[in-house]
Structure 1
């Protein structure tokens, strides 16, 4: 992403991944000049702790750089318990828990099997067993594990009604590669969208009608969220219905099968204009 930004003429400044070596956000941004007028900024990298995002946001603002999402907008896009109330009708039923004591009630409410993830990230890269539980014992064990993952959970676990997505392939770890499309949206306008999974897949091609359904649903979700720069994953159930699967602060979202240059070609207009 940074290489693509540089190729298209955007100014790129590197900052340390944490404050261990520099002490604070102001020191992390010491090498960035103060801009004469407010300009848009996009943070590209790994998801940071909330406190770090807030600190960098304020330090950048002092330099005349305004990140596309405020700290509250960043949280709303990233933390499931904040965006779920806006999207209940567009996704599947979920329960937010903060301890293993709440597992019994969550299992009774949703029924088994259920899908589990942290408030920020799932652990699907580690396989199906790291996300899906079939009974109360498994639910409690996986919940305890997820709560220990500071970056992925932020102290919360999401228990979701398991849905079956249309798919043709399995990932090397056995995870079903459901028919999903990631949409990058700025101010409720689609910038680019692409198939979620790498590799060739017959399901990666959308008909005109399917494309319309996917993009309309993504825009509807963005309108309800009111977050300027957001990535929204739309997936198709085996029944053919399309639902919202996941939301993210687009600054920290992988581009999937979207060419980075094409996405930055859209973003550069935001970057060059005052905000």
Structure 2
């Protein structure tokens, strides 16, 4: 099965780089109706069949994800996370119970609360004075690291990792991913003032691509995985 991109924002960096790399990108209207799926795919001279699809969008509701997943699946396009897996990613309490020992506090009500409690090391603040805590988003598919990005879209010296720091966040990301029933996941890891690394966020990787994500690495690593599956 090949990989395709189903994008509600064809002008995004992620969509443009995918297209340049030769990955098929299909444009969908924002908040598209299920009928728009057929309208988008049908006119193609080589409509996608038996494909893995990455849906680039704002995070949908659980019910909408299920409906869109089924609509794509009826055309032999399989999104990387099943509906029940997407539901897990959206339900904070279920995820946090599995990761609390890797997080800064044992109990919390949201990732925003976790990040606030983490007391992250920082060098810059936003215009309102909110500290930009040093944190990184690590993208994984089937517990394989694809790439990572600094969380904030700023020119911050703290975005550079030493080899030891990179190994530390990769180790934590893999440890967290192994506990979650999520195939395609993004894990946010921050450095506390005490220098410890801690989990500060988890999400479905389809809906949380940062602009500063190294997209050539992201798409390239995914293509390697799918190519290996096709030849295996």
TM norm structure 2: 0.82
TM norm structure 1: 0.70
Following TM superposition, by how much is the alpha carbon of 1:259 offset from its aligned partner in structure 2, in angstroms?
2.3
Counterparts in 2 of 1:235-250, with a 5 A limit? 235-250=190-205
Q: Secondary structure at the match of 1:12?
A: strand
C-alpha RMSD of matched pairs (Å) = 2.2
Answering whether residue 182 of structure 2 is matched by residue 227 of structure 1, we say yes
Contact map agreement 2:177 2:185 (CA 8 A) in 1: yes
Aligned residue number for residue 93 of structure 2: 81
Aligned residue number for residue 160 of structure 2: 205
Aligned residue number for residue 216 of structure 1: 171
Following TM superposition, by how much is the alpha carbon of 1:270 offset from its aligned partner in structure 2, in angstroms?
4.7
Structure 1 gaps of 5+ residues are: 97-116, 123-157
Contact map agreement 1:197 1:256 (CA 8 A) in 2: no
Bigger Cα displacement from structure 2, 160-169 vs 225-234: 160-169
Q: Secondary structure at the match of 1:191?
A: strand
Aligned residue number for residue 8 of structure 1: 21
Q: Deviations over 1:87-126 (max 9, x none)?
A: 1111123344xxxxxxxxxxxxxxxxxxxx5x7xx5xxxx
Structure 2 gaps of 5+ residues are: 1-13
Counterparts in 2 of 1:41-120, with a 5 A limit? 41-91=53-103, 92-96=105-109, 117=110
Structure 1 residues 244 and 256: CA distance shift in structure 2, 3 A: farther
Q: How many residues align?
A: 210
Aligned residue number for residue 8 of structure 2: none
Q: Secondary structure at the match of 1:224?
A: coil
Answering whether residue 214 of structure 2 is matched by residue 255 of structure 1, we say no
